[in-house]
Amino acid sequence: MKRIVFSAVALVAAIGVANAADIRRPPPPAAKAPAYVAPLFTWTGFYLGANLGYGWGSGSGTITAGGATGPVSGDGNGIFGGLQAGYNWQAGALVFGVETDFQLSAGEGTLNGSAGGVTFTGTTKNEWFGTIRGRLGYAVDRWLFYVTGGGAYSHNTLSGTNSLGGAFSSSATGWSWTVGGGIEAALVNNWSVKGEYLYIDSPDKIPVPTGVAVSGSSESHLFRVGVNYRF
């Protein structure tokens, strides 16, 4: 009798083990892919671009001819365009940079003066100019607000006549300083656009009528828009 009971128990146990072996365990849950984290945008890097703008300016002073001195004044305006290149370093929200640009200009104006009863009338032209500047900006993701300042150089010409029937012409290339600011917005595929204002003070050399001396000061205001490609 004990053998029969033992055999029955063994048979039941064997059936249970067989049934348990037939039960498939569910596969482990699939591992979740890590969440995509977009790389942080940075303004750091070299860039190259082009710009187009409009400028205007005026000046006044004295003109000296034949020992006599009198007033002289002038003003002008015109469009310009050129290329710029620079490099930015970003540290947190602060962006430090250097930039240089070269512009071809269609700026033109007039000069009028008189000294000792002799009047001088001329046409001034700005043929080209450029700047070498530092930039300090504050970045808000893809927006950059910045101030800028440094040196400026320009080439100007003067031609005209005096009331005695004499003609004159001259040219000069001089240095000055500039300061300004702007806003730049980064777009897709490494492109950005900007708007910028610059103030340029009197150059240290200006063209003057032959045989006379001119002293005084001038100021120019430039506004331009541009596009940059960031490498």
Reported as a single tens digit per residue, the pLDDT across 37-55 is 556 899 999 999 999 999 9
pLDDT value of residue 8? 40
Range of the domain at 103: 45-230
The total number of structural domains that make up the chain: 1
Model confidence, pTM: 0.82
pLDDT value of residue 15? 43
In a domain, 79, yes or no: yes
pLDDT value of residue 33? 61
Q: Which CATH number fits the domain that encloses residue 49?
A: 2.40.160
Six token digits for residue 52? 């187009």
Six token digits for residue 204? 């240290």
pLDDT value of residue 67? 87
Q: What's the CA angle centered on 88, arms 85 and 93, to 5 degrees? A: 145
Instruction: Give the other-Cβ count within 10 Å of 213's Cβ.
Output: 12
Six token digits for residue 101? 């640009």
Distance of alpha carbon 74 from alpha carbon 112, whole angstroms: 6
Distance of alpha carbon 177 from alpha carbon 150, whole angstroms: 6
In a domain, 140, yes or no: yes
In a domain, 92, yes or no: yes
Q: Which residues of the chain have pLDDT under 50?
A: 1-21
In a domain, 2, yes or no: no
Q: Which amino acid is at 137?
A: G
In a domain, 175, yes or no: yes
pLDDT in tens, 110-145: 999 999 899 999 999 999 999 999 999 999 999 999
Residue 4 dihedral angles phi and psi, to the nearest 5°: -65, -45
